[in-house]
Amino acid sequence: PFAEMLAEEYAKEFPDRPAVNVQGGGSSAGARAALTGAAQIGMMSRALSASESELVPVVMAKDAIVLVVHPSNPVQGLSKEQVRGIFSGEIVSWDQVGGPPSRIHVVSREEGSGTRGAFDELVMEGGVVVPRAVVQDSNGAVRETVAGDKAGIGYISLGLVDQSVKALSIDGVAPSLENAQKGTYTLVRPFLLVHKGTLSPDAQHFVDYVTGAKGQSILAGEGLVTIK
């Protein structure tokens, strides 16, 4: 959604430039598209793996991953250890973490998702997400699922948190832009634009727009931690 927004604003500002077409599919798909030449630029929300080392990464912003629950859930925050316990299946009821006596419904992202990869790295630390978790293919779908389930918990980008869900503090620190910038909120991952070899002048122009003042202003307005 962030790239789509940037592409729309870019088209308004530079109507004579070629259109930027944006497709989703997860970070692994973005890397693969750039590696195979299917796209000039790939989008990723995790660090490059060893098999993707041919790619040149450009950090366009950083994003905080936020644990979200239904607004009616009385739980205000969790420790990282509790989150790991919930998503590994060791903690199965909300009353084990200060909530009501109801079974926890875990909502996760699919394998290959950058959000899932970052969550696994930052939170799970080698642990495996419980097989009974509901798996969704986008941050928006996770948000919608949790918004409709009083016992649900999932993780999404800070910039996509709205009133339909409640964001949880982690280890006593609220998930805010300020705390992510200060480094006190630690569930933070990079948003990358990746490419293989030298970009065409038009593609480079778009990358320069994203990393320049206008693009960074747009991303800041969406709740991302900008590079400028």
Which of 94-98, 159-163, 180-184 shows the highest mean pLDDT? Answer: 94-98
Q: What is the model's pLDDT at position 105? A: 98
225: pLDDT strictly greater than 90: no
Q: What are the structure tokens assigned to 219, written together? A: 């991303």
- The owner of tokens 């290959």 is 112
Q: What is the model's pLDDT at position 112? A: 77
- Give the tens place of pLDDT for each residue, 54-81: 999 999 998 899 999 999 999 999 999 9
- Give the tens place of pLDDT for each residue, 190-220: 899 999 999 999 999 999 999 999 999 999 8
Q: Are strands 77-78 and 169-170 parallel, antiparallel or unpaired?
A: parallel
Whether 124 and 84 have beta carbons less than 8 Å apart is answered as: yes
- Rounded Cα distance, 152 and 143, in Å: 10
Which of 37-51, 84-98, 186-200 shows the highest mean pLDDT? Answer: 84-98
Q: What is the model's pLDDT at position 1? A: 83
- Rounded Cα distance, 172 and 76, in Å: 9
In this prediction, residues 165-181 reach a mean pLDDT of 94
159: pLDDT strictly greater than 90: no
Q: What is the model's pLDDT at position 14? A: 98
Residues 6 or more apart from 204 whose CB is under 8 A from it?
none
Question: Which carries the bigger pLDDT value, residue 114 or residue 38?
Answer: 38
31: pLDDT strictly greater than 80: yes
> How many whole angstroms from its chain centre is CA 88?
20
pTM over 0.85: no
